[in-house]
């Protein structure tokens, strides 16, 4: 697999990986984590405003945040890279549950070195003074999350254009970030997009409650250093017929992994 950051099919943070001195000196507090992350954001915002935030820079900045999370006590367990490699020459739709800011920051270094990719995001991120320039530089699909019919048409129309030019799409079918996975709130928009354009889906399951949502600013939460981080890619699937079976497969894939990870952490 050609991913200079993750050359193997799986990655696990070494058990003896040491936290940074600054994180240790923070005594587990949130100030260092928030300030350092904000510094990354402002740096990348500057790149975006200067027109130099291309795919390579995006992947690198994502990997820098990945290492930062590790240095703050994050323990990653990532599997299934071979499934990304299997579709490196074709656009696909990645479908994932959504738990925290972490996956938005980390997914680029897991996928972008292998294939062009973008996100479906809330339109508020596009207009944000801080995050806006960064998000706009990556040409995402922006939806309002208030009108499901309008969002459907936006994703189908803009998604068609991006897939046609070889850019894969990452979609979080939930309306917002939540810790508890609720199947009834996990829509089939990603499957519909893939079905309409004759491309495969790649299911993803994540457990990223290491990065807690902030109370005042949602993206600036605190790090729960005792919670391991799990990310897995599933096998690429063709969407046959209306896609109901494939959608149910993705839901089951996420539920089964979340249950397994929760049980493993409790032992």
Q: What is the CA radius of gyration of the chain?
A: 18
Copy the structure tokens of residue 4.
């200079």
Query: What average pLDDT does range 154-176 have in this prediction?
Result: 94
Residue with tokens 């994180």: 23
Which residues does residue 171 pair with via DSSP β-bridges, in sequence order? 95
Task: Report CA-CA distances (Å) from 216 to 120, 121, 179, 219.
Answer: 24, 20, 18, 9
Decide if pLDDT at 259 tops 60. Answer: yes
Give the model's pLDDT for residue 199: 98
Task: Report CA-CA distances (Å) from 265 to 96, 243, 260.
Answer: 21, 33, 9
The rounded percent of the chain whose pLDDT value lies above 90 is 67
- As separate numbers, helices (DSSP H) first and strands (DSSP E) second, the chain gives 10, 8
Confidence label for 20 from pLDDT (cuts 50, 70 and 90)? confident
- Average pLDDT value for the chain: 90
Query: What average pLDDT does range 247-257 have in this prediction?
Result: 96
What does the domain layout of the chain look like in residue ranges? 10-266
Copy the structure tokens of residue 11.
């990655």
Q: How far is CA 81 from the centre of its chain?
A: 14
pLDDT digits (tens, 9 = 90+) for 195-230: 999 999 999 999 999 987 666 566 666 778 789 999
Residue 90 burial (CB count, 10 A):
13
The answer to whether the beta carbons of residues 170 and 202 sit under 8 Å apart is no
Copy the structure tokens of residue 42.
């402002």
pLDDT digits (tens, 9 = 90+) for 105-141: 999 999 999 999 999 998 888 998 989 999 999 999 9
Phi, psi (rounded to 5 degrees) for 93: -115, 115
Nearest-angstrom CA–CA distance, 267 and 256: 17
CATH architecture of the domain formed by 10-266: 3-Layer(aba) Sandwich (3.40)
């Amino acid at each position: 697999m050609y991913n200079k950051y993750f050359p193997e099919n799986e990655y696990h943070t070494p058990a003896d990986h040491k936290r940074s001195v600054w994180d240790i000196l923070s005594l587990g507090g949130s100030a260092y984590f928030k300030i350092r992350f904000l510094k990354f954001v402002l740096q990348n915002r500057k790149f975006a405003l200067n027109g130099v935030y291309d795919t390579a820079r995006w992947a690198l900045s994502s990997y820098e945040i990945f290492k930062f999370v590790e240095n703050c006590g994050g323990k990653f367990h990532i599997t299934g890279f071979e499934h990304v490699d299997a579709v490196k020459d074709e656009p696909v739709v990645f479908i994932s549950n959504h738990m925290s800011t972490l996956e938005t920051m980390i997914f680029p270094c897991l996928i972008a070195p292998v294939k062009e990719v973008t996100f479906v995001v809330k339109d508020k991120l596009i207009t944000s003074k801080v995050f806006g320039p960064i998000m706009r530089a990556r040409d995402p699909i922006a939806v309002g999350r208030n009108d499901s019919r309008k969002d459907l048409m936006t994703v189908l129309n803009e998604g068609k254009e991006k897939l046609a030019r070889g850019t894969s799409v990452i979609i979080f079918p939930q309306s917002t970030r939540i810790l508890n996975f609720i199947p009834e709130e996990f829509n089939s928009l990603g499957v519909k997009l893939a079905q309409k354009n004759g491309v495969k889906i790649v299911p993803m399951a994540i457990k990223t409650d290491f990065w807690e949502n902030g109370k005042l600013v949602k993206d600036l939460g605190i790090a729960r250093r005792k919670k391991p981080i799990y990310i897995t890619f599933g096998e690429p699937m063709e969407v046959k017929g209306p896609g109901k079976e494939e959608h149910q497969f993705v839901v089951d894939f996420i539920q089964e992994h979340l249950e397994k990870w929760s049980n493993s952490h409790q032992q």
